[in-house]
Amino acid sequence: MAAPGLSALVRHYARLAAFSLPIVRRLLERPTSAPPDLRVVSDHAWSNTTQSTDLGDTITIDQTAATVANLIRYRLPEYPKVLDVGCAGGTLAGELPPSVHYLGIDASENAIEAAQSLWGGDDIRFAARDIHEFDPVGNWDAIVFSEVLSYLAVHEAIAEVRRYAKALSPEGIVAISMMNDGKSRAIWRALRQEFRWIDGILWQQKEPWPSYRISVSRGHPGYLVGVLGLRH
């Protein structure tokens, strides 16, 4: 059992080192072929019976949604507008106040169909849209990216957050959830330079024993859920 644990640690810290160096990161993320179609990738994942539970009803998805909701609910107006980018099964919609005007987008039509059947309503809407192609017009009070930026190269993730943030209301916020990974840390470092850090929660599922330490784990990684604001 020790060998797999050591192997995971080596891979984790190797990625941390690699993604902390821009020149190495660019080499790692340089496309060797046409970039993957997110619709194809997402639909394959969600239609796979071993992964379809990621649409909801797992501790990781549900806890992340609850954490995001708790972080943003105190910073939203009475009738907030929330855009959920990469909404998967729409779990976040069920955690937000009933007064919310919510739009969830995801590249996977399978995910959107599941979300619509569970949460859809007059003020809770879903649409099958690729993150690159969607035009986030309007004054959104919160724009959420939960576990979606890791599908992009670091420079693409930063560019998309920057593009979406232009559609925020003056006091609007961006909420982001990413696992403990070298790419995630590189994205966070860059975003900290452009946006105002407001608050965050670091969490990790703990089994089979209690621990106050965020550990390296492929099965149960740590997650940082952070809230950013515009620099005025």
Closest CA to 61 of 16, 34, 93: 93
Q: How far apart are CA 162 and CA 194, in angstroms?
A: 8
What is the domain extent for residue 195? 34-229
Say how many C-beta atoms besides its own lie within 10 A of residue 46's C-beta.
Answer: 23
Asked whether residue 74 is domain-assigned, the answer is yes
Pick 37 or 136 by higher pLDDT.
136
Closest CA to 215 of 202, 201, 225, 227: 202
Question: Residue 42: its pLDDT value, please?
Answer: 53
Question: Residue 36: its pLDDT value, please?
Answer: 53
Question: Residue 207: its pLDDT value, please?
Answer: 87
Say how many C-beta atoms besides its own lie within 10 A of residue 144's C-beta.
Answer: 29
CATH number at residue 215: 3.40.50.150
pLDDT tens by residue, 186-227: 999 999 999 999 999 999 999 888 999 999 988 899 999 999
Cα maximum dimension of the chain? 53
Asked whether residue 22 is domain-assigned, the answer is no
Mean per-residue pLDDT of the chain: 87
Which residues 6+ apart lie within 8 Å of 41 measured at CB?
Answer: 107, 151
Rg, the chain, Cα only: 18
pLDDT tens by residue, 26-80: 777 776 554 555 555 555 555 544 344 455 668 899 999 999 999 999 999 999 9
Phi, psi at 170, each rounded to 5°: -55, -35
Total count of domains within the chain: 1
Q: How far apart are CA 129 and CA 131, in angstroms?
A: 6
Tell me: pLDDT of 25 over 90: no
Question: Residue 49: its pLDDT value, please?
Answer: 40
Asked whether residue 28 is domain-assigned, the answer is no
pLDDT tens by residue, 76-122: 999 999 999 999 999 999 999 999 999 999 999 999 999 999 999 99
pLDDT tens by residue, 154-174: 999 999 999 999 999 999 999
Question: Residue 208: its pLDDT value, please?
Answer: 86
- Token duo for residue 217: 């784990």
| ∠ Cα 70 178 135 (to 5°) | 85
Asked whether residue 57 is domain-assigned, the answer is yes
